[in-house]
Amino acid sequence: MSDKTTHFGFRDVPVEDKARHVREVFDSVADNYDLMNDLMSFGIHRLWKRCAINMAGIRPGQTILDLAGGTGDLTRLMAPLTGPGGHVVLSDINAAMLDNGRRALLDRGISGNVSFARINAEQLPFPDNSFDLVTIAFGLRNVTDKQHALQAMQRVLRPGGRLLVLEFSRPVPVLKPAYDFYSFSVLPRLGRLVAKDADSYRYLAESIRMHPDQQTLQGMLEQAGFEQCDYHNLSGGIVAIHRGYKF
Q: How confident is the model at residue 166, as a pLDDT?
A: 97
CA dist., res. 47 & res. 45, Å (int): 5
Q: What is the pLDDT of residues 130-179, one digit of tens each?
A: 999 999 999 999 999 999 999 999 999 999 999 999 999 999 999 999 99
For residue 19, the model assigns a pLDDT of: 85
Domain span at residue 155 reads: 5-245
Is the pLDDT at 86 greater than 80, yes or no?
A: yes
pLDDT of residue 2: 52
Give the chain's mean pLDDT. Answer: 94
pLDDT (0 to 100) of residue 30: 84
Segment 38-52, tens digit of pLDDT: 889 999 999 999 999
- Tally of domains in the chain: 1
- % the chain with pLDDT above 70: 99
Residues 192-215 have a mean pLDDT of 92
Lowest-pLDDT choice from 24-28, 185-189, 241-245: 24-28
In this prediction the pTM is 0.93
Residue 155's domain is classified under what CATH number?
Answer: 3.40.50.150
Closest CA to 220 of 173, 163, 168, 172: 163
Nearest to 98 by CA among 70, 126, 140: 70
Region 57-81: mean pLDDT is 96
CB atoms within 10 A of CB 10: 12
Rg (CA), the chain: 17
Q: What is the pLDDT of residue 177?
A: 95
Q: Would you place residue 101 in the very low, low, confident or very high pLDDT band (cuts 50, 70, 90)?
A: very high
Mean per-residue pLDDT, 102-119: 94
What value does the mean pLDDT take over residues 65-69?
97
